[in-house]
């Protein structure tokens, strides 16, 4: 019977009993209590791998984006919030090892901790299988976010823009409701955005954040139709 960590290794395409994966899911607080290696060095390496993988995706899949727009898209995808969202889709919070203090402060809910763990497992993939494997993983996890950001690279994100408009118009703050469907490895999300009493738009994507972004963009584009 597979251990929980071996189950994660199988999902990621890493060997069972992967020493790299064990380090990747070890927070510094746990390492200090158990005299073992933390994931900080892997996180440092993974940060660079994620950055390059996303840049590669932008250059190859979005030829209409110039250097400036591509940089803006990358910045909106390679950040703590987006990487933590990817970590949550992988249920990394169920695998990361943290110290007693972090447990008491609900450390596994912190986006910074989860984003670091995501970068660390990317580094583990890179060291185990090379850049192409790590790149494919990163791009599969973040492609939806890149697609959403590429829709308006030079502007504020659609959710912020919609909120600013709705509040200025006296309609209140948009409310998002999200449902999910499908197995853990291929979950899809449907988002509905309501302003006041009216459902304005829906969005469908492979992450909660992207589904909300798609709904916000559709609501913004149809804001004068309601």
Does 4-150 carry CATH code 2.40.37.10? no
φ/ψ (deg, to 5) at 191: -115, 140
pLDDT tens by residue, 28-84: 999 999 999 999 999 999 999 999 999 999 999 999 988 878 888 888 888 887 898
Is 119 one of the annotated active-site residues of the chain? yes
What pLDDT does 220 receive? Answer: 84
pLDDT single digits (tens) 162-179: 888 888 888 889 999 999
* Identical fold, 4-150 and 158-221: no
Distance CA 178, CA 50 (A): 27
Sheet holding 198-205, edge to edge: 175-181, 188-195, 198-205
Q: What was the pLDDT predicted at 146?
A: 92
Fold (CATH) for 158-221: Double Stranded RNA Binding Domain (3.30.160)
pLDDT, one tens digit per residue, over 91-147 is: 999 999 999 988 888 878 888 899 999 999 999 999 999 999 999 999 999 998 899
Q: Could you tell me which residue, 133 or 149, shows the higher pLDDT?
A: 133
Q: What is the pTM of this model?
A: 0.70
The reply to whether 47 belongs to the active site is yes
User: pLDDT, tens digit, for every residue of 203-221?
Assistant: 887 778 778 888 888 888 8
Residue in the structure block whose two tokens are 């999200």: 178
Q: Let me know: does 214 contact 191? Beta carbons within 8 Å.
A: yes
14 versus 81: the higher-pLDDT residue is 14
Domain ranges across the chain:
4-150, 158-221
CB 65 within 8 A of CB 147: no
Q: Check 43, 102, 119, 145 and give the catalytic one.
A: 119
- CB neighbour burial string for 186-219, b if at least 16 within 10 angstroms, e if fewer: eeebbbbbbbeeeebbebebbbbbbbbbbbbbbb
DSSP string, 26-63: B-HHHHHHHT---SHHHHHHHHHHHHHHHHHHHHHH-T
29-45 burial, b at 16+ Cβ within 10 Å, e below that, comes to bbbeeeeeebbeebbeb
């Amino acid at each position: 019977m597979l251990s929980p960590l071996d189950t994660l290794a199988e999902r990621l395409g890493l060997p069972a009993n992967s020493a790299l994966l064990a380090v990747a899911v070890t927070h510094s607080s746990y390492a200090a209590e158990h005299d073992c290696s933390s994931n900080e060095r892997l996180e440092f390496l993974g940060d660079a791998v994620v950055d390059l993988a996303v840049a590669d995706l932008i250059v190859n899949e979005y030829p209409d984006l110039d250097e400036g727009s591509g940089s803006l898209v990358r910045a909106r995808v390679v950040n703590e919030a987006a990487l933590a969202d990817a970590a949550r889709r992988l249920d990394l919070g169920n695998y990361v090892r943290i110290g007693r203090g972090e447990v008491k402060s609900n450390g596994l809910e912190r986006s910074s901790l989860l984003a670091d763990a995501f970068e660390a497992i990317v580094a583990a993939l890179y060291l185990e299988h090379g850049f192409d494997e790590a790149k494919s993983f990163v791009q599969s996890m973040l492609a939806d976010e890149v697609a959403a950001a590429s829709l308006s690279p030079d502007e504020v994100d659609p959710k912020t823009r919609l909120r600013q408009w709705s509040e200025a118009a006296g309609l209140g703050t948009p409310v998002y409701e999200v449902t999910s469907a499908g197995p853990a490895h291929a979950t899809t999300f449907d988002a509905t955005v309501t302003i006041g009493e009216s459902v304005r738009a829906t969005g469908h994507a492979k992450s909660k954040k992207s589904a909300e972004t798609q709904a916000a963009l559709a609501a913004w584009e149809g804001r004068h139709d309601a």
